[in-house]
């Protein structure tokens, strides 16, 4: 059942009078509806700093929240501020004035997963714009200083939010264990797929094959560095084409970044025996299925990509600073926070690439 809320329902921040240093926030109040509100300025707790949010990228997971009121088994139970890809300027503490990109995941630091070096699997993780934790679609928020990475001078405020999905792409690439000169497939060319193509190219992979249903994203995949980008035909012939173009061998590693079973099927059909498949996309119906016999006969290793590791955001900033990954070309739309409803409509229609909201 989809959640619904009464008019004027309060979220995790309290509404306040405009004279009391108000924060403008964009809250998801029910599936398909976001609403502006004026709320109290957040007070940083120990270890936190106040951040003036400059730009927020809308992600596929935000689209799930907006369209369905849920993502996986997490349900919308109160009006929620979405937004986990964001950049801003520190407003308090010794780093005041510094432009930063933000890791939206706050791990506990003391569970078994954190101790094992996998804080992305933390059992008590807090994540911006998820569950009961408000995200960045507001003018100010308080966030742990340890989660902030300095923006390179050559990365604009609007480009800053793209460092988080680039970090996810880098984590996916690490899971693929692709060696220099090995063939890769990227199936689904939304922003993470496009960033993954660039990351793989920067690591020396090649050739890189890409498939995508939308024509404008196929062109973007070519611009990102895909050796061969194919618009997915209705008959599934792209699978045969990729195998043929690898001399019948198949790709060494296949990355599913489309969030649907067709992309998973293409990954399994085109990867070589003994190869690796990395599942990155989030399916809308909380279920992924594939032809088990094909995967079993090939002896495939299938990995699931869960967000990123802390060092990936630093690596992303370094790649952007060096010009090895271009972020600006992925930004197709920019909206002020007052036009948040239009921003989400654009996201849901998949009319562009990356939608940026600038509070």
Residues 150 and 263 grouped into a single domain: no
List of residues 6+ apart from 176 with CB closer than 8 A:
184, 253, 255, 276, 278, 303
Residue 18 maps to a domain: no
Task: Name the pairing type of β-strands 74-75 and 70-71.
Answer: antiparallel
Residues 135 and 217 grouped into a single domain: no
Residue 10 maps to a domain: no
Q: What is the pLDDT of residue 20?
A: 60
- Which residues of the chain, if any, have pLDDT below 50? 1-19
Residue 217 maps to a domain: yes
Q: What is the pLDDT of residue 233?
A: 84
**Could you tell me if 143 and 164 are in contact, meaning their C-beta atoms sit under 8 angstroms apart?**
no
Residues 297 and 332 grouped into a single domain: no
Residues 143 and 181 grouped into a single domain: no
Q: What is the pLDDT of residue 131?
A: 87
- Measure Cα distances from 273 to 176, 255, 257, 279, 300 in Å: 15, 15, 21, 17, 7
Residue 341 maps to a domain: yes
Residues 280 and 335 grouped into a single domain: no
Q: What is the pLDDT of residue 18?
A: 33
Structural domains counted in the chain: 2
Q: What is the pLDDT of residue 21?
A: 73
The 10 Å CB-count burial string (b at 16+, else e) for 27-63 is: bbbbbeebbebebbbbebeeebbbbebbbbbbbbbbb
**Which residues form the domain of 193?**
165-304
What global pTM score does this model have? 0.91
Residues 247 and 335 grouped into a single domain: no
pLDDT digits (tens, 9 = 90+) for 321-357: 999 999 999 999 999 999 999 999 999 998 899 999 9
Residue 228 maps to a domain: yes
Residue 17 maps to a domain: no
Which CATH number do you get for residue 196?
3.40.50.720
Residue 289 maps to a domain: yes
Residues 135 and 177 grouped into a single domain: no
Token representation of residue 214: 């939308």
* Order of all β-strands in the sheet with 33-39: 33-39, 23-30, 80-81
Residues 179 and 154 grouped into a single domain: no
Residues 134 and 201 grouped into a single domain: no
Q: What is the pLDDT of residue 72?
A: 76
Residues 77 and 155 grouped into a single domain: yes
Residue 314 maps to a domain: no
8 by Cβ neighbours in 10 Å (0-12 / 13-18 / 19+) ranks as exposed
Residues 153 and 170 grouped into a single domain: no
Residues 300 and 171 grouped into a single domain: yes
pLDDT digits (tens, 9 = 90+) for 185-233: 999 999 999 999 999 999 999 899 999 999 999 999 999 999 999 999 8
Which CATH number do you get for residue 50?
3.90.180.10
């Amino acid at each position: 059942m989809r959640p619904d809320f009464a008019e004027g329902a309060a979220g995790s921040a309290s509404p306040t009078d405009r004279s009391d240093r108000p924060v403008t926030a964009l809250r998801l109040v029910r599936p398909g509806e976001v609403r502006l509100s004026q709320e109290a300025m957040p007070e940083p707790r120990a270890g936190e700093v106040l951040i003036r949010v400059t730009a927020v990228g809308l992600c596929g997971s935000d689209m799930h929240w907006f369209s369905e009121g849920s993502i996986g088994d997490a349900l919308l139970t109160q009006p929620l501020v979405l937004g986990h890809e964001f950049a801003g300027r520190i407003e308090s503490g010794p780093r005041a004035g510094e432009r930063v990109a933000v890791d939206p995941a706050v791990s506990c630091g003391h569970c078994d997963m954190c101790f094992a070096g996998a804080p992305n699997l933390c059992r008590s993780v807090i994540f911006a714009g998820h569950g009961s934790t408000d995200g960045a679609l507001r003018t100010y928020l308080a966030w742990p200083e340890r989660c902030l990475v300095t923006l390179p001078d050559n990365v604009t405020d609007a480009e800053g939010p793209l460092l988080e999905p680039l970090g996810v792409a880098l984590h996916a690439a690490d899971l693929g264990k692709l060696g220099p000169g090995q063939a890769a497939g990227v199936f689904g060319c939304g922003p993470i797929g496009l960033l993954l193509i660039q990351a793989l190219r920067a690591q020396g992979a090649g050739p890189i094959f890409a498939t995508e249903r939308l024509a404008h994203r196929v062109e973007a995949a070519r611009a990102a560095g895909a050796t061969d980008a194919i618009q997915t035909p209705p008959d599934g012939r792209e699978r045969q084409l990729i195998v043929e173009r690898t001399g019948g061998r198949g790709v060494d590693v296949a990355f599913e970044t489309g969030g649907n079973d067709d992309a998973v099927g293409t990954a399994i059909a085109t990867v070589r025996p003994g190869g690796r498949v990395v599942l990155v996309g989030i399916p809308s119906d909380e279920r992924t299925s594939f032809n088990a016999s094909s995967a079993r006969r090939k002896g495939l290793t299938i990995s699931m990509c869960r967000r990123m590791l802390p060092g990936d955001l630093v690596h992303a900033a370094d790649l952007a600073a060096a010009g090895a990954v271009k972020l600006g070309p992925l930004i197709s739309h920019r909206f002020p926070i007052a036009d948040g409803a239009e921003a989400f409509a654009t996201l849901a229609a998949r009319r562009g690439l990356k939608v940026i909201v600038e509070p």
